[in-house]
Structure 1
């Protein structure tokens, strides 16, 4: 029951905070994030960790609504430090991974300086969580990028001091001292980073066993913290360290006072309030998870809506494709029918034309036979008239004879006209292939195409059968035919 109440509370809190953030414009959100991130850094420096944590996740919510990955990157950079301060290594490492992810997709890595800062943060985080080898690897990349960019000392000393501190922690005191000396030559004691640098000197001399020098630097660091009112969390560690060193020197009273001050400050920041701090972190983590659950729920709902829309779209697509297929099939069927109808019509026209040609050929053949009979009759009449003429000269008989000859010529012209009508392209094809043929040769070819015998051809042309055979022989030579070639077959193919 209590869990359900908390769930409802977090959902209400989420919508209460998320709705105003949605109203941010992108430019307004950028300006707002700059102010908030500066405030977060200030809160961390003065040890107001829960408040800093709260602001970070508020920014996260706004960045999610605006889909601003650069702000998410900046937020995770701060989270790595917060989780490290409270020794939450798992979340610190997860925040490092998230920082790298958002650095890549937001284009931070396109800027070599942005990439360098990301690697420096990762190295610093791994050092705080005592993973010195990974810290060394990340700092090495960070320093390489700075060297390649030839950045000024003001940007380089952060990485150099981290490298020096790593050398101290891993027992490489000479290398650490060399780097710290190089930094100190160009470093101002008024710098906000002075407290950390003095602390590093103190750690170096502690490691080397030079207690008095270590105390001098620790006290310088404490003085700087007091002057700047920042890095209060570091003050707790420094008081503990000077207390231990004074105890080794026999300054027990001072050591006791410093240990008491460290405990009181530690209780105020981490001790008596640490339970409250951790509880706040747990509550805010639950709130954050609730936000993420709400987002996941909303995403699921959106995905369901998209799925329904996709299904509707697929159904419409299937319907349209089916309709298109039916249309194409119908069109194909109609075109096939029209094609068949057209082919049938063409076939019918061909058959009709062929039938008409066959009829005309038959008519031509009949006409030709009639002409043969007519010419035969006329020849007999002409012969009879010749006999009459020999017996008795008569001018009227002569006129009859001339008329018969004239009619014979006209009859042949009528035959030739009918032949050309039936075989329109025959003479053209023949002349195109054989341009050496005479008019008599063309007449002979026409009669051979009609399959007349030599005797019938002689009767039509008014010549003897021998003359026809001689004409056929000469024609074969002109056509270039061999002895085995059939004259009728060749002429019929034209």
Structure 2
């Protein structure tokens, strides 16, 4: 008979991986109900898992769909329906590979590892355990996934070696569990790990420490997970058996059976417990009980693994077909991926070409548009400058024309003043023959008129040459009012004589004023005074 891996070992990993993975996967009302009933009402749990699968299928949520299928398969496996468990695992693995879901692949690989181990296919089992561990370690290091999944994978391998009585290797993998667990949970105890450690210590002959750990584990699971007491009592029974305390050993074997029947869990451990306690009763010559327990063990073993078992019969038919189907699926997936890759490459090339052409076209259009705008802007600038020049020339011509008119008017005033002066001199020469009072009134009137000539001239000059006085005064603050008048007459090209006449001063005074003006304007001997003032 093949050496069987106990279902409870699977259940350990099942409990841990499910509780940890629930932190990552989403849930729904059906999934919650299924989890509530998985150890209470098997049929109801199955129904709700199937509803959950329908729910996530409708939502097109492949990631959480895989989890529901995987949990349903775990439940089938826990209840010895390995055929349906296999169906579910392969379906989940196919979906995970198709969607490139590494996390879900690692969970399915772990479960497949247990199923392969049931029939002593240890190489294949370790291969799947190794795949799960490799993926979970990679995810935790690169993508920040919780190290709990890595701990779960190490724990599964530790259980596998422990059951196969390779305690040294089991200890190595359990140490790895502790190493990862303590890096995240300093000072916190994990009683799943602790109970395994207690069992290994018992096999090393360290009975006191093993008993202390296992009794504390028993207290913990009484409060938190009574179904797991099946395993704890089995560990205690083995401990007392090694200590040769057969009474306590029988007690704990029977307690393990009792808890298993009450919670309908760890059914494969019932076979182990019945066999072990049967041997103890046989050794103590209680043959009736020994026979009763060995009969129960054989009946259960035939039911689960026997040649007449429908589940087992189905499993033997399909296990090789699944391997072939998996290889076929892998080949098909590779072909599909290659085809998809080729299609993606073609699409990428076409997209890149289209993008390049579009960008090139946009760049050409952009350059042409920019050049057109630049040319248009230059044309507008040229037109604006031409308009400004024309306007400025027109303005200058208008000012020059008005200045000429002003100069002409000023010259007329000068002639008028000269006439009036001559008249005044003539009257003065013949004053004896005239009425003196009348003559004085005329003279005063003439003198008053002469004083107003400049004011009239200056008002018209300022109106034509706006800013002239202001600009000169701003650049040369020391200029007097007389200096400004001289500047205005110079701008109109008045001669010194005309300036003297208009200002009512002598020509010598005009020359003196011009000389002083050159100094104030800081002009050199070679600088032209007329040109300098014309610029204002």
Q: Identify the TM-score tier after normalising by the shorter chain.
A: 0.5 to 0.7
How many angstroms does 1:346 deviate by?
A: 0.9
State which of 118, 134, 151 in structure 1 corresponds to 2:173.
Answer: 134
1:22, 1:66 within 8 Å by CA — same for their partners in 2? no
1:83-232 equivalent positions in 2, closer than 5 A: 83-85=116-118, 86-87=121-122, 88-98=125-135, 109=146, 119-120=151-152, 122-129=154-161, 130=169, 132-139=171-178, 141-142=180-181, 157-168=191-202, 172-184=206-218, 192-193=227-228, 196-197=231-232, 199-201=234-236, 204=239, 210=244
User: CA, structure 1 residues 134+27, in 2 after alignment: closer, same or farther (shift >3 Å)?
Assistant: same
- C-alpha contact 1:69 1:106 (8 A) present in aligned 2: no
Please give the residue correspondences for 1:80-479 in structure 2 after superposition, counting only pairs within 5 Å. 80-85=113-118, 86-87=121-122, 88-98=125-135, 109=146, 119-120=151-152, 122-129=154-161, 130=169, 132-139=171-178, 141-142=180-181, 157-168=191-202, 172-184=206-218, 192-193=227-228, 196-197=231-232, 199-201=234-236, 204=239, 210=244, 268=307, 279-286=320-327, 288-290=329-331, 292-293=333-334, 296=337, 300=341, 303-304=344-345, 307=348, 308-309=350-351, 312=354, 315-362=357-404, 364-365=406-407, 368=410, 383=425, 389=430, 415-416=457-458, 418-427=460-469, 443-450=485-492, 452=494, 454-468=496-510
**Compared CA separation, residues 311 and 476, structure 1 to 2 (3 A):** closer
TM superposition shift of 1:183? 3.8
- Closer/same/farther in 2, CA of residues 289 and 390 from structure 1, 3 Å limit: same
How far is 1:445 from its partner? Answer: 4.8
SS of 2:57 mapped into structure 1: coil
Whole-Å separation in 2 of the counterparts to 1:335 and 1:66: 58
- The question of whether the paired residues in 2 share the 8 Å contact of 1:126 and 1:135 is answered with yes
Question: Offset at 1:182?
Answer: 3.7
With the length of structure 2 as denominator, give the TM-score of the two structures. Answer: 0.59
Shift in CA distance, 383/292, structure 1 to aligned 2, threshold 3 Å: same
| Map of 2:39 onto structure 1 | none
Do the aligned partners of residues 375 and 335 (structure 1) sit closer, same or farther apart at CA in structure 2, a change above 3 Å counting? same
Question: How many equivalent residue pairs?
Answer: 451
What is the CA-CA distance between 1:37 and the residue it aligns to?
4.9
Question: 1:148-198 CA distances to partner (integer Å, 9 max, x unpaired)?
Answer: 678xxxxx643332222333566655533432344456777x965455445
User: How has the CA–CA distance of structure 1 residues 392 and 54 changed in structure 2, closer, same or farther, with 3 Å as cutoff?
Assistant: same
Q: Tell me the distance in 1 between the aligned counterparts of 2:216 and 2:435.
A: 159
What displacement does 1:355 show? 3.5
Task: Assess if the C-alpha contact under 8 Å between 1:202 and 1:217 holds in 2.
Answer: yes
Q: Give me the whole-angstrom Cα distance separating, in 2, the residues matched to 1:434 and 1:192.
A: 109
Give the direction of change, closer, same or farther, for the CA distance of 1:157–1:361 in structure 2 (3 Å limit).
Answer: closer
Q: What's the RMSD between the two structures over aligned residues?
A: 6.1
Contact 2:256 2:273 in 1 (8 A): yes
Query: Aligned in 2, Cα 1:326/1:482: closer, same or farther, shift over 3 Å?
Result: closer
CA contact (8 A) 1:142 1:159 kept: no
Q: 1:53 aligns with which of 86, 89, 95?
A: 86
Residues 102 and 135 in structure 2, CA contact (< 8 A), matched pair in contact too: no
- The answer to whether the 8 A contact 2:106-2:133 is kept is no
- Provide the rounded CA distance (Å) in 2 between the counterparts of 1:117 and 1:424: 92
Find the aligned partners of 2:318 and 2:357 in 1 and give their Cα distance.
56
Q: Normalising by the residue count of structure 1, what TM-score does the alignment of the two structures yield? A: 0.63
State the secondary structure of the residue aligned to 2:392: helix
Q: Which residue of 2 aligns with 1:6?
A: none
Say if 1:60 and 1:75, in contact at 8 Å, map to a contact too.
yes
Cα distance, 1:350 vs structure 2: 1.8
